[in-house]
Structure 1
């Protein structure tokens, strides 16, 4: 059997949903275009903000408890139906597509996402990659299944001298390392 170094696979629960494995679009592209596995609505940040201000002003006037900031301005997690495998000392960097921000006013709220090597096949979610997106446009935006929403770039990383690992085993899925 051929040794596999790095790549993408479809997770079990999406096997029958026609998920495409990410591909580079040109010979010199660094990133593999990642598609949405489902149709998802990204709420407008500005629409949410105006609603929050009006709603809370009305509630304050009536002397009622207001909405908490935690109730809005959440990034939307868009499922990809994918997981990624890679060699030790590698990670998958998730970055914006240039058209996301320029054409559609969507961005990754954390700038980039990091998929660690030990996220692959974890017990909590099989290593399912989700793309966090925020819509800073004026209107809600629908992302359709199959739409390219991010790029994945495999990269090496370096470790410091006398590297000390805090916890040797991943305990969960998305956002689980602390």
Structure 2
């Protein structure tokens, strides 16, 4: 399966997989100069690319675990959702939840794109829902694994 990718800027880098088993495609910061990410601040980082996701899929933008664990750099909305009919530039909202500034370099891998199959059920009103063992038990209702 191919993923059509259009470079919107000259310095954009096409997404890559770090290994053959990598689920996500690494996305690269399309910046003209380094960007200092200050603690507690929010940033929108462009990729310089647009993609044509296959019909029946969704693109999920996720953070890179190394940036999150080592430097506190994460996505500001946890996971970004890219609809299959969107053709604009991919960008990710980042935040620095660490206690030190981090300098994001032009061309640095900063997020990843997962392309995932999606179901599109049609919501319908229901007077009752099918019963389950859990029922209406909410947060913590199933106990802690021992």
Q: What is the TM-score when the length of structure 1 is the normalising length?
A: 0.63
Question: Aligned partners of 1:41 and 1:119: how far apart in 2?
Answer: 29
The runs of 5 or more residues in structure 2 that have no matched partner are 125-146
Q: Specify the SS of the correspondent of 1:128.
A: coil
Q: Specify the SS of the correspondent of 2:67.
A: helix
1:139 matches 2:139? no
Show the counterpart of 1:41: 36
Specify which structure has the higher proportion of strand: 2
Q: Specify the SS of the correspondent of 2:44.
A: strand
Question: Aligned partners of 1:147 and 1:158: how far apart in 2?
Answer: 33
Cα displacement (A) at 1:91: 1.5
Question: Aligned partners of 1:33 and 1:143: how far apart in 2?
Answer: 15
Contact conserved, 1:100 with 1:106, CA < 8 A, in 2? yes
Show the counterpart of 1:93: 60
Contact conserved, 2:13 with 2:48, CA < 8 A, in 1? no
Question: Aligned partners of 2:120 and 2:58: how far apart in 1?
Answer: 13
Cα displacement (A) at 1:89: 1.7
- Give deviations 1:26-52, integer Å, cap 9, x for gaps: 11110001010113221211xxxxxxx
The runs of 5 or more residues in structure 1 that have no matched partner are 46-72, 121-126, 164-178
Question: Aligned partners of 2:3 and 2:54: how far apart in 1?
Answer: 6
Structure 1 residue ranges (4+ consecutive) displaced by more than 6 angstroms after TM superposition:
none
Report the number of matched residues: 122
